[in-house]
Structure 1
Amino acid sequence: ERVGVLAQTTQRRDVVERVLEHLRRASVQVREIDTICSATKARQAAVCRLARQCDMVVVVGSLESANTRRLAELAREQGSRAYIVDAAEKLDFLWLDGANTVGVAAGASTPDWITKEVVGKVEEMEKDRQAPGDEQVQEGEQDSKAIYEESLPVLKPGDMVAGRVVSVDESGALVDVGYKSEGLIPAGELARRPAHEPELRAGDEVLVCVTSVDAQEGVLRLSKRRADEKLSWERLEEALARQEPVEAKVLQEVKGGLTVDVGLRGFVPASQVERGYVSDLAKYVGRTLRLRVLELDRDRGRAVLSQRVVLEEEHEQLRNQTWSTIEEGQVVRGIVKSLTDFGAFIDLGGVDGLLHVSELSWGRVKHPSDVLKEGQELGVMVLRVDRDKGRISLSLKQVLDDPWANLAERFPVGGVVKGRVTRIAPFGAFVELEPGVEGLVHISELADGRVGKPEEVVSPDQEVKVKILRVRPSERRISLSLKEVEQDREKATVRGFLANQEHDRVTIGEVIGGLLEGGRERQNRQ
């Protein structure tokens, strides 16, 4: 089991060590990140030294401050009495009883002027208690000043220290880092990219880098920008050592690649943006990428990163997973990667499968682009898997409804339907009745009489009416006739003509009968 240990920046070092030792005794693999502020450690060590020399220690700071309370605890552990005050008027004269030597220490966020007031008040109380001579007073003042100076951290350029923002204006920010005076962060050192980072406010906790120290004048200059960059370098170095990706936002397209924000300015070469060639890098501006650190050079301020390495690793993991799970007969999801004259390549997840043009539809497809487009997501059936050759054959029509199912119900024998001539062969013509269903009109069924070539009667894409002669769904065959449609039409015409003649016919009897009746009438008149 691996455990990471972090500590509050003001935590006591000995407490952290006891925790680490307890974990190690339990056979736990521990990785410690030292987050205790260096200034805090120095202040705690100074208070321990101070307490060993004094009978009583006054810690100036808030009772709610964990840092202040820890300083008081450390003083008591050294055998000294310790009291916490946040103002000079809160000192109690009775505390001095039995104390020959009094020390004063301050918490990290305690303003310098409050500490000085407390020191002055302790000196006044001591004078009232002992009424010492001038020489003793001077010596006591010097001792108090020395003890106070000793309690301050020793800072030098390059040190990283934690502090609290006291005030912010157009010239910069004042930060209390526990030094004899507040440190100044000039406006230009507040942030690397001011417009893209949150503004500092009074009371904010910040980590800063010491840029210069004037011990005599008590002037301290700081930089948040350098502290941020130092932390970013450390983070990138750790990512490089552990081969872990980092996230970064693309700032702009430049000659040869992209610049990214990794807490400092990083560069992604064009060849490291994608697994393949990228013609338009501008589309990446503003996007956040997952990158692998390739090269770091602090002296030259150079950080080179790659998205391609991350994509290659992810692709390989996905490829292995796909090959380990894919089986014939499965219906899987994929994305159309590219189109060719003979079919389409489908990305199944790190592995490409071929969807042949003959498997695109139950009907006839001239070109894959008539059915698919690049980037389209679809479900396909796995027909064949050849792991040795790394080939996968796919079918789209197998996941679609089979148009030959229940065909006899839709196209009964004897019925006349419309269709389209799709192709012509020497022995007849093929007619599509619906997508995926083609029937054959044999040359002998094209017309009455002898037909030399089918082209004499029909042509491709011609709309025709055909009669269903035979349906064999199991063989996926339908026999059709063009001439019987014509014959049926002619028979219907004759029948109609004859039917009309039935209503207008005159018999011989009716004609002769009329003549005979007329002759009798003439004889009777005579």
Structure 2
Amino acid sequence: MTTEDILNEENNEEVNNQTEGDTEVDENTEVNSSSGYNVGDKVSGTVYKVEDKFIRAHLDGSEYEGIVPISQLTNQRIEHPNEVVSEDDTIEGVVIKVEEEEGRHNVILSVRKLEETKSYDTLEEAAKNDETITGTVMDVVQAGLVVDVGVRGFIPASLLSDEYVEDLEQFAGQTVQVKVEDIDKEKNRVILNRKRIIEEDKKQDRQKQLSNLEKGSVIDGEVVRITNFGAFINLGDVDGLAHISELSYTRVEKVEDAVNIGDKVKVKVLDVNPENERVSLSVKQAGTSPFDDFAKENSVGDTLEGTVKRLVDFGAFVEVAPGVEGLVHVSEISHDHVAVPSDVLKVEESVQVKILSINEDSEKISLSIKETTERQPESKDEPKVYNDETEDDRPTLGDVFGDRFKNLDL
């Protein structure tokens, strides 16, 4: 069954007038003008009798009787007219047929069509102004929900929520808030949207929480998504990102080494951008920094055992306590010239380091390896020059000039 079939199912049924005889309601029947009533006229009256398949009413200011078949009472599915109307009730309807045969002076009315006309006007106005309206779920089908909004409207499953809804039956008989997504009065077609309301409500909730988040505050969260660059942590109505560098004071190679989906964690709010709905978080800063403990227990000039963790062109990062690293500048590695740190150091190598400075504001430590070793003294002896030649080996003038003197006339 398609969406259009569902919407048109009730509206395509034939109108039957079951009075004393079975009379078919034909809206195209020519009207006897002597009655004073024409098809399409709006009339009102008072119900004086409720039958099994129709009701009878005295029409205001007329000797004619108004008859409303059960199918024209409401767009809801009812078994008996007394489900929606009682004797002495005042009704309004639109004329769909006039009977002036001998012994019959009846006006066939449709309360449903008049209500639908009013409902369509209301729905068109709601669609124009993007208003939220309320409806009651009349039927649950595989493709979505049939909803009474004055006329039969339909919510496709894809427009029911911002999340996948597996059990549609949970909405049976419920009152729901919707917006008019599309309306075609000629085809009796009304498409409704509940998803947009949910999205708008959640956006308002997010903005409210974003405005209440304070930079520097520590709050509870839950890890809901992991990427290669960090973890997304749900704070209630908004998610924040903790970059991989903010997950732990120790170096984290993979996010999964520090946190997993479902973990409950405390986080520190680093930054809030309500306009872009972005929140920057830190897991490591929500706890005590190991740097603080290190700074209390150690001083400039202390010599410590450390482990080389990273080698870069300008030096080596050495771990001197769990989660605490300091930098040995390339010029502080050795008394001898070092072109590249990797020429003399290896990752995970244990080294002795001396603390040169501790900056508590930036949490940076400067270290030196060469300050833990003594410079090798330079040799004071003059350099020796070795000469293997002896006087006997030196060339004579004859050796140099050879036979050049033989032809001289002296």
The TM-score with structure 2 as length reference comes to 0.49
Larger relative CO (CA 8 A, sep 6+): 1 or 2?
2
Structure ranking higher in strand proportion: 2
Higher radius of gyration, 1 or 2: 1
The TM-score with structure 1 as length reference comes to 0.39
